[in-house]
Amino acid sequence: MPGIYLHVPFCRSKCRYCGFVSFPYREKAAAAYREAVEREMATAAAGCRRDSFASVYVGGGTPTCLPREDLVHLLDRVDRLFAVETGAEVTVEANPDTVDVRYLAALRASGVNRLSLGAQTFDEGSLRLLGRPGGPGAVREAVRSARSAGFTNLNLDLIFGLPGQTPAAWRQTVEQALALAPEHVSAYDLELVPGTPLARAVREGTLAPCPEEEALEMYQEVIDTLTRAGYRHYEISNFALPGRECRHNLLYWENGDYLGFGPSAASHWRGTRRSNAGGLEEYLRGEGGTGEGEDPAREMTDTVIMGLRLIAGLDLEAFARRFGVPLASVYPGELERIQRQGLAEIVAGRLRLTKRGLPLANEVFRAFV
Amino acid sequence: MSEDHVPTDNIRNFCIIAHIDHGKSTLADRLLEYTGALSEREMTDQVLDQMDLERERGITIKAQAVRLQYRAADGRTYQLNLIDTPGHVDFSYEVSRSLAACEGALLVVDAVQGIEAQTLANVYLALEHNLEIITVINKIDLPNADPERVKREIEDVIGLDAREAILASAKLGTGVEAILEAIVARIPPPKGRAGAPAAALVFDSHYDPYKGVIAYVRVMDGSVETGQKIRMMASGKDFEVAEVGVFRPAMTAVRRLGTGEVGFVAAGIKNVRDTRVGDTVTDARHPAAAPLPGYKKVTPMVYCGLYPVEASDFGLLRDALEKLSLNDAALVYEPETSGALGFGFRLGFLGLLHMEIVQERLEREYALNLITTAPSVVYRVTTLDGRVVDIDNPAKLDALGKIQELAEPYVAASVLVPREYVGPVMELCQDKRGMFRNMEYVGPGRVLLTYDLPLAEIIYDFYDQLKTRTRGYASLDYELAGYRASDLVKLDILVGGEEVDALSSIVHQDRAYQRGRDLVERLRGLIPRQLFEIPIQAAVGNRVIARESIKARRKDVLAKCYGGDVTRKRKLLEKQKEGKKRMKQVGNVEIPQEAFMAVLDIKKK
């Protein structure tokens, strides 16, 4: 069942590693944005009166840098415009320093039942390096507040492979995250996005990047630790207690349908893809969107490269049913090669990455483009 | 203008010999200006050096022949034919044929720099041709000019009487009239038999898209005229003269070129190789008994492989070489393939300068992106069963099986250098496997060193090193001095256990380790990591002499991928896949084009 994504492109400050689309919060800009995104949603809603949505995801930027009422209002609009299922998963991303019990209670009251907190790291030095607002205490506070407000589905975002981060420091971060008993953890390998202050510092040599071997060690470590603690490693970077996998994100990895609203938001709807303009002005003018028309071959590719991100891999029979042709006949040579290279395997009718192939996932994906 | 034929007695054929930058071209400009061949308005500086390349480097590549008309002090009108000669050792054969077309030469020496190695080489050549030499000491306008010292040098080093040397400044125009008078007074008129069968010396040519090959000739005996049936004696082919003419400097048709005159012949000749430098043009029906002396086929000294960066440009490269060779009879080439670089050509040149010029023209005039493999000389192989084979490409060595002896070409090099740099120069020559021949003092504070050196060492980077160690004061000239057997070995490079043919080279045993290490290290920095460890080795025969290893890749960046990332991610993967297609596959290893270029490309040292 399809999902809805809403992008709130404002932040109080820009983290030094961030490659997402976001702008400094300004009341006027935010007001213009809200008006525009509501119009965008209303237009789209007219074309999907018969669709029911099983997930809503509000991301950004920092959705919670909007005043409480404004965010609640937007959530209300989504609910009114679209047929959102009872029991749908409704996620809002939050920064620990922007929320308190009142804010979170309001979100809870308006139907938000999943909170994703950007913790990143519990190391003060690393937090400063990343340009994250607030300290490690803020995360703990925010988790406490969320529980108080009644949230029973929490995610913590963590980043490893930071310049200057040792495997020991990472182990500590993971432990501290575990201590907060989240239902879900996303652990990301640092990506140095060109143009960001962090990437620049590394390029210019003022910051030494984390050695590849150490980052690999950190990755393997978090998989081990979280698995032993009862979490299921269900996607390359995502871990969840049984039953608490992020339903909305699964839509992406299963190449399902979703509608995206706001600057830079993307949609995959009935075989076509669409991306909104990233720039605020452009978005407000209704310009700059790009799209890809129907293309079964492309759909197949996307299904594979996204599906292989799931640790359980791709259901080959489901693929054959969906596209009317077995995967093996579309990519005979490639399938053989990635298995021969020990990067992927077929187990119980599913094609999945091996332990060795996991950190070399791109190598496997390239076989299918 | 009328045909302006003058009696043979009033003809003077001369050339200008000088070291680079000593003012040959400026002087030529002044002569043209003074005699009215070009009004000042028409002068672009240094008219005779037509090609941009020549202008940039300050050297002459193609010879030109200009007819000047000069009314001398004695009231008589003289026909002066100035034959411009190439100024570089690579083209010494062309120089000698240009000299053979003259009776005299202006020896131009810089009043500050004095005699240089190239001056010497060309003077000796001029003396061998029995040319009357008029010494001109140029650039006397410079503050450091020391004509007296230079005169003494000329007398001491060359043994010429410098009392009558003319002091000039081509830049200011001083001494030009004196030079012209000296040409008239001292250079003998041409000798030749007007009634004998035609015999004209070809000293250069160029290709004209409409008229075909234009041959530049000096008529020794008889005459050549429009409509005449002529024979090129080297090829034996006959042609009909469509046009004869002279350069004023613009090409101007005349009806006839008489005995002793210089000009051009156009006879619908399609192939520049039918008008070889040094060849004799004669009458087809009443041919000369024997060709003029001194003709020889030029052989290339230096070879290199030339490959297009984009494989799809091969056709363009082939066409470009065809066009280029229309105007360059000395350029030889044939197709070749390299496992590493694909389809390309092996080109032969007269020398490094010739090679650089051709490369630059290909890149500039034909907009081609090229990989040039390191230049190599022609090695002479004696196989076990006694066969002697010349190879221009180290990769061909294996096919010959066991060899008895490997010989390389040597040159006799002369270096003229201020006394204080003798030590570094001798060190350099020794370093380059040179054998000391002679050292003599020439003039105050300067030394002429002669060494026998392997040509392979010269072309590697000898000239640059020489200049660096002597702060630019040394000058170099060299000529071939036969083949010598050396302790040469074939150095192979293996990547992932497979030999990469394009990286093979023939080196002296003593150099093998250093060169092998250098190549191996460079490759290690240029080949991207792959899913398995990659050994890189330099080997001589079965012996590995240098080795590096590239670790296997175990992790890529684990980028996140949510809804908005799909398209971008897919496109990135596609781009990466395309990039891999452009890699050269050597066994299991993918090597990017750039790695080859950086290792092989001589420009990217």
Asked if the model's pLDDT at residue B40 lies above 70, the reply is no
Torsions phi, psi of B496, nearest 5? 60, 30
Say how many Å lie between the first and final Cα of chain A, rounded.
26
Across the interface, of A306, A360, A369, the residue whose CB is closest to B555 is A360
Interface residues of A toward B, Cβ cutoff 8 Å, are 5, 188-189, 191, 212-213, 215-216, 219, 236-237, 249, 251-252, 258, 260, 264-268, 273, 275, 292, 298, 301-302, 305-306, 309, 341, 359-363, 365-366, 369
Express each pLDDT in A309-364 by its tens digit.
999 999 999 999 999 999 999 998 999 999 999 999 999 999 999 999 999 999 99
Instruction: Give B313 to chain A, closest Cα distance, Å.
Output: 27
pLDDT score for B495 = 93
pLDDT score for B443 = 66
Asked if the model's pLDDT at residue A367 lies above 90, the reply is yes
Chain A residues in contact with B574 (beta carbon < 8 A): 369
CB A270 within 8 A of CB A257: yes
Chain A residues in contact with B560 (beta carbon < 8 A): 188, 191, 237
Instruction: Give B572 to chain A, closest Cα distance, Å.
Output: 9
Q: Is B487 exposed, middle or buried (0-12, 13-18, 19+ CB in 10 A)?
A: exposed
Chain B residues in contact with A342 (beta carbon < 8 A): none
CB B380 within 8 A of CB B390: yes
Instruction: Give A62 to chain B, closest Cα distance, Å.
Output: 17
Express each pLDDT in B524-577 by its tens digit.
988 999 999 999 999 998 899 999 999 999 999 888 888 888 999 999 999 999
Nearby residues of A131 by Cβ (< 8 Å), 6 or more positions away: A13, A14, A15, A16, A17, A197
Instruction: Give A341 to chain B, closest Cα distance, Å.
Output: 9
Q: Do B567 and A273 touch (CB under 8 A)?
A: yes
Separation of alpha carbons A94 and A83, rounded Å: 25
Range B188-209 average pLDDT: 90
Chain A residues in contact with B565 (beta carbon < 8 A): 266
pLDDT score for B56 = 52
Mutate to test the interface with A, among B555, B577, B578 (most CBs of A within 10 A): B555
CB A316 within 8 A of CB A346: yes
pLDDT score for B53 = 54
Strand runs labelled E in A25-79: 52-60
Asked if the model's pLDDT at residue B602 lies above 60, the reply is no
Express each pLDDT in A136-160 by its tens digit.
899 999 999 999 999 999 999 999 9
| Cα–Cα–Cα angle for B319, B321, B322, rounded to 5 degrees | 65
Look up residue B251 and give its DSSP letter: E
Asked if the model's pLDDT at residue A256 lies above 90, the reply is yes
Range A173-197 average pLDDT: 95
pLDDT score for B604 = 45
More confident residue, B29 or B600: B29
Across the interface, of B567, B573, B574, the residue whose CB is closest to A292 is B567
Q: Do A363 and B576 touch (CB under 8 A)?
A: no
Tell me the whole-structure pTM to 2 decimals.
0.69
Express each pLDDT in B485-525 by its tens digit.
989 999 999 999 998 888 888 888 988 999 899 889 988 98
Q: Do B576 and A366 touch (CB under 8 A)?
A: yes
Express each pLDDT in B434-456 by its tens digit.
999 999 987 667 889 999 999 98
Nearby residues of B159 by Cβ (< 8 Å), 6 or more positions away: none
pLDDT score for B474 = 81
Range B402-412 average pLDDT: 90
B42: helix, strand or coil: helix
Express each pLDDT in B264-306 by its tens digit.
999 999 888 888 888 999 999 999 888 888 777 777 878 888 9
Range A221-243 average pLDDT: 97
Asked if the model's pLDDT at residue B316 lies above 80, the reply is yes
Across the interface, of B554, B555, B573, the residue whose CB is closest to A365 is B573
CB B540 within 8 A of CB B488: no
Q: What is the ipTM score, two decimals?
A: 0.93
Instruction: Give A146 to chain B, closest Cα distance, Å.
Output: 25
* Average pLDDT along chain B: 85
Angle, to 10 degrees, between the axis of helix A136-148 and the axis of helix A101-109? Answer: 40
* Average pLDDT along chain A: 94
Asked if the model's pLDDT at residue B391 lies above 90, the reply is no
Measure CA B202 to chain center.
19
CB A281 within 8 A of CB A26: no
Query: Which region among A21-25, A41-45, A86-90, A200-204 has the lowest average model confidence (pLDDT)?
Result: A21-25
Mutate to test the interface with B, among A218, A366, A368 (most CBs of B within 10 A): A366
pLDDT score for B369 = 82
Across the interface, of B556, B567, B580, the residue whose CB is closest to A275 is B567
Mutate to test the interface with B, among A355, A363, A368 (most CBs of B within 10 A): A363
Asked if the model's pLDDT at residue B45 lies above 80, the reply is no
Tokens linked to B602: 């001589």
Tokens linked to B401: 């099986």
Residue in chain A nearest B580 by alpha carbon: A366
pLDDT score for B159 = 78
Chain A residues in contact with B558 (beta carbon < 8 A): 188-189, 219, 236-237, 359, 361
Q: Do A305 and B557 touch (CB under 8 A)?
A: no
Chain A and chain B share a number of CB contacts under 8 A equal to: 83
SS3 helix, strand, coil % of chain A, rounded to 5? 45, 25, 35
Q: Do B554 and A360 touch (CB under 8 A)?
A: yes
pLDDT score for B43 = 56
Nearby residues of B472 by Cβ (< 8 Å), 6 or more positions away: none
Interface residues of B toward A, Cβ cutoff 8 Å, are 531, 553-567, 569-570, 573-574, 576-577, 580
pLDDT score for B1 = 41
Chain B residues in contact with A189 (beta carbon < 8 A): 557-559
Separation of alpha carbons A93 and A60, rounded Å: 7
Chain A residues in contact with B552 (beta carbon < 8 A): none
Residue A205 to residues A62, A126, A199: CA-CA distances in angstroms? 30, 18, 10
Asked if the model's pLDDT at residue B158 lies above 90, the reply is no
Residue B345 pLDDT class (50, 70, 90 cuts) = very high
Q: Do B574 and A273 touch (CB under 8 A)?
A: no
Asked if the model's pLDDT at residue B35 lies above 80, the reply is yes
Q: Do B558 and A219 touch (CB under 8 A)?
A: yes
Range A266-280 average pLDDT: 94
pLDDT score for B48 = 52
Range A81-110 average pLDDT: 94
Across the interface, of A189, A213, A264, the residue whose CB is closest to B564 is A264
Across the interface, of A237, A249, A252, the residue whose CB is closest to B558 is A237
Instruction: Give A365 to chain B, closest Cα distance, Å.
Output: 7
pLDDT score for B261 = 94
Residue in chain A nearest B571 by alpha carbon: A369
Residue in chain B nearest A272 by alpha carbon: B567
pLDDT score for B256 = 93
Q: Do B573 and A215 touch (CB under 8 A)?
A: no
Asked if the model's pLDDT at residue B89 lies above 80, the reply is no
DSSP notation for B506-553? EEEHHHHHHHHHHHHHHHHHHSPP-SS-EEEEEEETTEEEEEEEEPPP
pLDDT score for A143 = 96
Instruction: Give B501 to chain A, closest Cα distance, Å.
Output: 28
pLDDT score for B126 = 86
Residue B600 pLDDT class (50, 70, 90 cuts) = low
